Structure 1
C-alpha cells in the first residue's frame, strides 16, 4: 500500500520570536510533521530550519541529520519527479514543504501532486497560511471572484500592457486581480500599477502577511499616486508582498 503525501504549510517569512509557529501552524499539523522522516522541499537548508522550529514543541522522528530531504524546485527536470515518489510507492509517508506558505500554490510542488494522483498516491492538504487568501481577506476587494496572475513581465512596456489587460478584465468581470513580484522590485511594481491604472482603480499592497511587520493598505490609484509623489511609499523593500487591483 502506498504512503500518503502530506502538503505541509510553512511560515510566510522569518519570525525570530520564541515559539514562532504557535499562531501560524496548527498544533496537529506540527505533530504530524514531526513524525515524518522523508520530505520534498524547494530548499533542503530552509526546510531543516522549519523542522527545527517544529522540534521546539514536538520531538522529531529522527535527528535532523537522519531525516531525508529531497529538493524540488524550478531547476528539477520533469523526469526526476517519479523518483521523488518512489519512497511513497514503497509505503512511506512523505511531506511536501513549500519555501513559504502552502505547497503547490505558486509553487513547483504542484507537478508532484498531480503525478501523485496519477500514481494512486493519497494526497492530504494540511491547514496553514496562504498569503494570497490572507491578502484577499484583508484587502476589502471582491472576494467572490478573484484570479492569481503570478509574476508580470520585467520589461516595462510589456508589464504596463499586462497591467492594462488585467484592469480591463477586472472591470468587465468585477474580478479582483492578484499578482506578486520579486521583493526587491516591489517599488517598481507599485509605480507601474499606479502609472498604468485609472485613478479610481483600487490597489492593495499587502506586505509581510502574518508577521510582526505586517502591513496592508488599500487605496485608489489617485491616492497612491499622491503618496508616492510625496515620498510616502510603503515600507516594503525586499519584503514579500501581494498586490491586488479591482477596477
Structure 2
C-alpha cells in the first residue's frame, strides 16, 4: 500500500510528476495553476513538442528542458524521465489536448512513477469526454468512458456487446474518418438509443447533435464528419436490464445454453456460442474460455 501526501515535504529528495491539463481547443481554458506549474517545473514532457511549443510561446513560458514522450518512444523515454525526477527535478507532463494519461501513453509514465515512489499531482482542466457528457442531456449520475473502439470489426462488436449491458451513459472518442462506422456498429448492436455527437468542443465550429443513433447516423451522412468527435450513448434501460434478468436462459449453465441452440436451432458449436455470448453480454472469447475451463 502507498499513501501520498501531495503537499507535504518528502524526505527522499525526489521531485514531483505533475499531470498538467491543456486546452482542448480554446486557449482561454488554460488555468492559472497550469501556467504557473509549467513555468516552475525544470522539465516538461510533451506528446508532440511542436504543438506544445506553440502553447508555451502563447503563454510566454520558456521551458528549461522540453522532452518528447509519446507512444513510440515511451519504452526508452519513460525510465529516463523517472531518473530525472528521482534526482530531484520536477516534471510536468502534458498531452496535445486535455488531460494527460487519458487515452495516451501518460498512463504508462504514471505507473512507472508509482513504482518508483514518486509523488504524482494532477493539475486539472479541460476534458472532452466530460464536456460532452454535461451538455448531452443524458444521465450524468453514472457513466463509463470507453475511449476509442477497436478497429477490427470482430473486436468492436464484442466490445459493444459487453458495453451495451451497462446502465450508465457510455462515452467514446472517435476520429472523423471512423465515426460513421462506429455509430453504424452501435446502432446495429443497441438499436436506436438516445445519443449525442459533440465535435470541435470549445472551438469556433463547436457542434452538439442530439437524437437517436439512427438520426445521428443520417445527420453525418448528410453532413460529412469534420473534426474530432465525442460520442455519448445512453446505457441499458432498467426495463431492458430486467428483461435480460428474466430471460429464459438465466437458469441454464453455459454448456446447457450452448447445447440448446445446437439442438433447437441446428447451429454448429461456433454459431451457438456466438448466440450465447450475445444473450449474456459476453465476448465469444469469454464463452469459449469458460467452456474450456
Normalised by the length of structure 1, the TM-score is 0.80
Q: Does 1:29 align with 2:34?
A: yes
Aligned counterpart for 1:38 among listed residues 36, 39, 43: 43
Deviations 1:15-38 (A, max 9, x none): xxxxx523x011232122123341
Matched position secondary structure for 1:216: strand
Q: 1:110 maps to which residue?
A: 107
Deviations 1:25-53 (A, max 9, x none): 11232122123341111122112122112
Normalised by the length of structure 2, the TM-score is 0.69
Unaligned runs of 5+ in 2: 1-12, 237-293
Which of the pair has more CA radius of gyration?
Answer: 2
Deviations 1:52-75 (A, max 9, x none): 1221xxxx3x4x5xx322222211
Q: Distance in 1 between matches of 2:222 and 2:141?
A: 31
Is the 1:208–1:214 Cα contact (8 Å) retained in structure 2?
A: yes
Q: 1:232 maps to which residue?
A: 222
Shift of 1:9: 0.9
Q: Does 1:176 align with 2:181?
A: no
Shift of 1:243: 1.0
Unaligned runs of 5+ in 1: 14-19
Matched position secondary structure for 1:105: coil
Bigger mean CA offset, 216-225 vs 111-120 = 216-225
Q: 1:212 maps to which residue?
A: 204
Shift of 1:77: 4.8
Q: 2:270 maps to which residue?
A: none
Aligned counterpart for 1:70 among listed residues 67, 71, 92: 67
C-alpha change, 1:236 and 1:222, in structure 2 (3 Å) is closer
The structure carrying a bigger helix percent of its residues is 2
Question: RMSD of the TM alignment (CA)?
Answer: 2.2
1:123-202 equivalences under 5 Å are 123-167=120-164, 169-170=165-166, 174-199=167-192, 201-202=193-194
Q: Does 1:86 align with 2:75?
A: no
Q: Distance in 2 between matches of 1:32 and 1:157?
A: 44
Q: Distance in 2 between matches of 1:154 and 1:86?
A: 36
Query: Greater relative contact order (Cα 8 A, min sep 6): structure 1 or 2?
Result: 1
Q: Distance in 1 between matches of 2:50 and 2:217?
A: 41
C-alpha change, 1:29 and 1:225, in structure 2 (3 Å) is closer
- Aligned residue pairs: how many? 223
Matched position secondary structure for 1:132: helix
